Structure 1
Amino acid sequence: MENYTLSVTDEIEPAFEQVIAGGLNRFNDEMTGYNDRQPLAVIVRDAVTEAPLGGILGRSSLGLLFLELFYLPPALRGNCLGSTLLATFEQQGRERGCRCAVLYTINFQAPAFYARYGWRAFGEIPCAPPGTSRIFMSKEL
């Protein structure tokens, strides 16, 4: 048996993340025979300062589009900007060859918003506080 130690931390060092992600990515590449993973961001910027105001972060991998984070400040909501961001994100996924997309949202966040654009819930898991749940959704692209 090799010598090693275990540790627990809430600070993820870039070197640690690189070891885990790099190892898993190499394994996936060997198993599938290809590497198509790419990060994807659709960003809303201030027209004057170009500072980021909100947007979508995600990635594509193995023909699947992952929507990981989506945020718009309240002042930018309600004017179809969110719809435009989502459509742009989905189109970028199609252009990358993705056939399906996945995300999770929280029941007090935006499940109805996603449903209006063809996303379907495929799972729900209760979480804290009571009455709150994470809703997992997918969409054919």
Structure 2
Amino acid sequence: MSVDANAKARAAGALYRYNVAATAVDDRIAIGAQLCDAAGNVLGGLWGRTELGLLFLDMFFVPGHLRGKSYGTRLLALVEAEARRRGCSRAVVETSSFQAPRFYARHDYEEFGRVEFGIGGHARIFLRKHLE
């Protein structure tokens, strides 16, 4: 079974319009911070969106050779600060057990859900944080 990217985009638009009609709030805005080298090449970053008073973290990547040097902490702090300026009071992220749950826990995110994978004892982990 293949996925039609255009159909998915149309459905996402229809779902967003439904959400706006149900809440009377049309405030979805992309958010992010990028990690670039001296030449301006994007090496990694943190991307997501703010919507309905929530910060949704969608993708976070710092290359292996830059991990452990506070780049991730700085990216997260920048995005959270912007989300607060936008009126967000909470943040939500999902990660895998082999990715970054300890990183998020160090930054005051708390686990609120877990779904085990069918392989290797790993799980998808859902975390949240109060931004206020």
- Give the TM-score normalised by structure 1: 0.88
Q: Which residue is 2:14 aligned to?
A: 23
* Structure 1 residue 12: Cα displacement: 3.7
Q: Which residue is 1:112 aligned to?
A: 102
- The counterpart of 1:126, out of the listed 116, 123, 126, is 116
Q: Give the AA of the match of 2:91.
A: A
* Structure 1 residue 127: Cα displacement: 0.5
- The counterpart of 1:46, out of the listed 19, 29, 37, is 37
* Structure 1 residue 18: Cα displacement: 2.7
Moved over 4 A (4+): none
Q: Counterparts of 2:62 and 2:93 in 1: how far apart (Å)? A: 17
Q: Counterparts of 1:94 and 1:122 in 2: how far apart (Å)? A: 21
Q: RMSD between aligned alpha carbons?
A: 1.2
Q: Counterparts of 1:138 and 1:62 in 2: how far apart (Å)? A: 15
Q: Which residue is 1:97 aligned to?
A: 87
In the alignment, structure 2 segments of 5+ residues that lack a partner are none
User: Kindly, what percent of the aligned residue pairs are identical?
Assistant: 41
Q: Which moved more, 1:50-59 or 1:16-25?
A: 16-25
In the alignment, structure 1 segments of 5+ residues that lack a partner are 1-7
Please tell me whether Structure 1 or Structure 2 has the larger radius of gyration of its CA atoms.
1
SS at match of 1:112: helix
* Structure 1 residue 70: Cα displacement: 0.6
Q: Which residue is 2:52 aligned to?
A: 62
Aligned length: 131
- Give the TM-score normalised by structure 2: 0.93
The alpha-carbon distance between structure 1 residues 12 and 60, as it changes in their structure 2 partners (threshold 3 A), is farther
* Structure 1 residue 17: Cα displacement: 2.7
Q: Give the AA of the match of 1:42.
A: A
Q: Which residue is 2:27 aligned to?
A: 36
Q: Counterparts of 1:87 and 1:117 in 2: how far apart (Å)? A: 9
